[in-house]
Amino acid sequence: MRYAHGEFIVTRCGDAVVTQAYGPWNKECVKSFANEYRFNAEALFGKEWCNIVCVTGESLLIPDAELQLRERTAAMHPLGLTHIAVVLSDSTAKATTKAQLKRTYKGLNVEFTFVELIENAVEWLVGHGFNIDLESISLHVAKVASK
């Protein structure tokens, strides 16, 4: 059995599932992430919700992990996922990460954007009608800072 490579912290913040991703990720990490993500997102199933994905370090996906993340994201759309904001400020591989995630999300009927700060992500999603719990965002950021 291969070990997961990559780390994450997942928090639900109102209509958003917020992920702090430390990469690079392999498919074992994507599988573990998908389980925790689903646990956090289940309360949102049946209505529209969104993602905020904050990437840190070498935020890359090996090819089989990229494919698996695409499949997992596609499975969330029928359950209500409609928007994803990716925060790139702490990525050391911004151009490659952006290219990978564009491939991952392309054609999934999920609107996505790339921003530099989590505040920009919140603003974009609020502008699309989502209720983002700012207190939970602050707690998530504090949890990430203490890692």
Question: pLDDT per residue over 45-70, tens digit each?
Answer: 999 999 999 998 887 888 888 899 99
CA distances to 49, 84, 111, 129 from 7, rounded to whole Å, are 23, 19, 25, 30
Q: How many residues does the chain have?
A: 147
Residue 1: the pLDDT is 45
Q: How many helices (H) and strands (E) does the chain have?
A: 5, 5
> What is the distance between the alpha carbons of residues 122 and 69, in angstroms, rounded to a whole number?
23
* 46, 52, 55, 56: CA torsion to nearest 10: -120
Mean pLDDT along residues 133-141: 94
The pTM of this model reads 0.94
In the numeric block, which tokens belong to residue 58?
Answer: 């070498």
- Tokens 């994803």, residue? 84
Question: pLDDT per residue over 89-106, tens digit each?
Answer: 888 889 999 999 999 999
Q: Which residue has the higher pLDDT, 5 or 86?
A: 86
User: Does 115 score more than 60 pLDDT?
Assistant: yes
